[in-house]
Amino acid sequence: MSNDPIVWGVHMGSHVADRPIEGGYVAIGWPEMGDLTKIAPSRDAFKEALALAYPDKKKGAIPVDAGTMFKFLHEIKAGDYVVYPSKADRMVNIGRFKGNVQHHANDPDEYPTRQLVDWLGHFPRDEFSQSSLNEIGSFLTMFRVKRHALEFLSKVDPTVTAPAPRDSVDPDTAEDATDDDTATVAASVQAEANTSDFVIKRLMTQLTGHQFEDFMAHLMECMGYTARVTQKSGDGGVDVIAHMDPLGFQPPIVKVQCKRTTGQTPRPDVDQLLGTLGDGEYGLFVNLGSYARGAVELERNRAKLRLINGEQFVELIFEHYAQLAPRYRSMIPLKQIFVPDLPQD
C-alpha cells in the first residue's frame, strides 16, 4: 500500500461564505446524524445510521452519502491535499489536511463535521483549464481528483509530482453510484458552471480594462440606461456614468467603477467609489471575481452602494444577451438551451 498523499475535492454550499478559509477547515453536513466520529468505521454502519436519521432520503442516495462520510472520516490522511472550489467567490482553494477531525454540534452552516486544513493558496477559476474545472465540478460532496491533480498541485508547489494512488481508495466503486435524478441535476449544474467559466474567460482574454468599461456602458444601455464612459484621468475611480433621462440631469445618477479582475476586491477600492457620490447619486462596483468581507459589510450598511460580482455579472449578460451588439455576441457566442430543473437534495 502506498503512503503517498492523494488529492481530494470537497464541495460546500455558497452560504458558508469565507468561514472555511478563515477557520482553516473543510466540512460535511448531515447534522441530524450527530457526532459522526461515534459511528463504527464501516460503510455499512454509516448506511444504517443515515437511513435512521433521514428516513425520507432516496434509496439511491444512501450509499453515496454514507460513502462520503466514511471517506471523510477514515480515508483522508494527514498530508493529503484538498481542492475546495468555493461557490461564494469563484476561487479554487488548495491546502493540505492536518489529519484532525472535529465535531461542531451547533455549526451555523449545518456542516458539523470538520477536517482541519492548512491553506496553501487561493486562485481564480480562470487560472485553470476548463477540463480541470470540469473534474472538480463533480456532483459528489467529496471525490478524488485524479486526471488533473498535478495541475492543481503545481499552483502551490512547482516541484511537486503527481501523487501516487492509494490502494485502499477506489473512487470508481459502486458505492459512488447514484440515482438518475441526482445525476441529471449534476449535469445541469455542471452545464451552468461551464457557461459561467466560459463567459468570464472570454471577458478576461478578449477585452482590455478600457474595453471592459465600454462593455459595461453598453450593457447598461441594454438595461434601459443612458451611459457614457468617463475620461481616463481625474475620474476619482468612476469609469461609467449612467442615468435614466437622456441628458443626465435627473436623479438617480449611477456612478460605476469597473474592475476587470477575477480576484478579490478590497474595501479601500469600494471606499474610493463611495467618496465620489453626491446627492441623488448611487455607486455600482463591478468585477469578475469577488469582494473582501469588509467590502461586503460596507454594502450592507450603505443604501446607495451595490456590488456586482462575477456570477451576478454573468447573470446580467444572460438576461440581456439578445440586446447586446453583434460584436459582443460574437465575442461571447452563446445559444439558449433548456436543462432539467429538478430540486437538489
Please write the tens of the pLDDT for every residue from 223-273.
999 999 998 654 568 999 999 887 767 778 999 999 999 999 999 999 999
> Quick one: pLDDT at residue 317?
97
Percent helix, percent strand, percent coil in the chain, to nearest 5: 40, 20, 40
Q: What is the DSSP letter of 58?
A: -
> Quick one: pLDDT at residue 174?
45
> Quick one: pLDDT at residue 169?
47
> Quick one: pLDDT at residue 137?
87
> Quick one: pLDDT at residue 86?
93
Residues 296-332 as b/e (b if ≥16 CB within 10 A, e otherwise) read bebbeeeeebebbbbbebbebbeebbeebeeebeebb
The string of pLDDT tens digits covering residues 316-332 is 999 999 999 999 999 99
Q: How many CA atoms does the CB half-sphere of 192 hold within 13 Å?
A: 16
Residues of the chain below pLDDT 70: 1-4, 161-189, 232-236, 248, 342-345
Count, residues in the chain: 345
